Amino acid sequence: GKLVILEADRNVEFQAPYGKHYKVRIPTFGRSLVYEPSSCELYVTSSSGDVYKINLEEGRFEEPLNERRNDVPGTTCCEISPTHRMLGVGGEDGILRFYDTRTASTTNNSLTSAFTSLDIATATSSYGFSDTTARDVTSLAFEDNGVMMAVGTSN
């Protein structure tokens, strides 16, 4: 087994029982990471809005999930649904975006855009939250059955 560490200097370091195994530098500062075991891929959210995808089986970067083109100021957190392999990515704009990691676009065999999204401020306004301004999505967790999730915000 190995341990993955997201470092403040834009490095992703892989540790093994004998010490440092490998280190790779990502283009912008990372904020969180999640491992998807069935495809052996590591997803890293970043301050630029990109979600970097590292295929650990092949040892290379895949095309990032590029949210920069959708004017997302930055991605803050990510999590994989244990049941559906759906990737949830929280953004600084208060929007939670979902990607189906089982599918790929036909252009270059990678998924690059969200199939659906959820505006957290709008979704919670009917539950007594009167502040409907955009909040950073700071954390995300899926229940083991994959049906329910919890979302943390900056407010």
The model's pLDDT over 104-140, given as tens digits with 9 standing for 90+, comes to 643 444 456 778 888 888 887 777 666 666 678 999 9
Long-range contacts at 141-144 (CB < 8 A, ≥ 24 apart): 141/79, 142/79, 142/80, 142/81, 142/82, 142/83, 142/88, 144/82, 144/83
Phi first, then psi, for residue 6 (nearest 5°) are -95, 115
Rounded-to-integer distance, Cα 93 and Cα 95, Å = 6
Rounded-to-integer distance, Cα 149 and Cα 130, Å = 22
The predicted-structure confidence for 5-56, as pLDDT tens digits, reads as follows 999 999 999 999 999 999 999 999 999 999 999 899 999 999 988 899 999 9
